[in-house]
Amino acid sequence: GENVEQHPSTLSVQEGDSAVIKCTYSDSASNYFPWYKQELGKRPQLIIDIRSNVGEKKDQRIAVTLNKTAKHFSLHITETQPEDSAVYFCAATLNTGGFKTIFGAGTRLFVKA
């Protein structure tokens, strides 16, 4: 089955700096890659997603890149702010008639003011 690895597990940056979170997946048939943000005590919320036919997608300060050949995808947050502090999960979704999503272990991001 699909396996998603995520690094780093913890990331601390200064406000205004950039943060990069990297993930790899194992099943080349996965074709949709969402990213979720989970604030303390709250449910995960989708922040951005990318499909396998696209190499990069940007939404304001957040961008995702996908390298299908290497089975790598990354989240980039620029001009970080304290409210970006949260746990971020990458995920890979396999379309098998349904849409089974496997999540990475998460990255705890701390943005220091």
Partner 1 sequence: GAGVSQSPSNKVTEKGKDVELRCDPISGHTALYWYRQSLGQGLEFLIYFQGNSAPDKSGLPSDRFSAERTGGSVSTLTIQRTQQEDSAVYLCASSSRGSWDRGGGYTFGSGTRLTVV
Binding site for partner 1 (CB under 8 A): 1, 6, 32, 34, 36, 42-46, 49, 51, 89, 91, 93, 95, 97-106
Could you give the CA distance from residue 71 to residue 2 in angstroms, rounded to a whole number?
12
Which residue, 17 or 100, is less far from partner 1 as judged by CB? 100
Nearer to partner 1, 29 or 99 (CB): 99
Partners of residue 13 on adjacent β-strands = 111
Positive or negative: CA dihedral 37, 43, 49, 51 = positive
Q: Closest approach of Cβ 39 to partner 1, in Å? A: 12
Which of residues 15 and 59 has its CB atom nearest to partner 1 in the complex? 59
Min dist CB 88 to partner 1, Å, is: 11
CB nearer to partner 1: pick between 42 and 113? 42
Q: How far is the CB of 41 from partner 1 (least distance, A)?
A: 9
* Sequence-ordered list of residues with C-beta below 8 angstroms from that of 74, at least 6 positions apart, any chain: 20, 21, 22, 23, 64, 65
Q: CB–CB of 15/82 below 8 Å?
A: yes
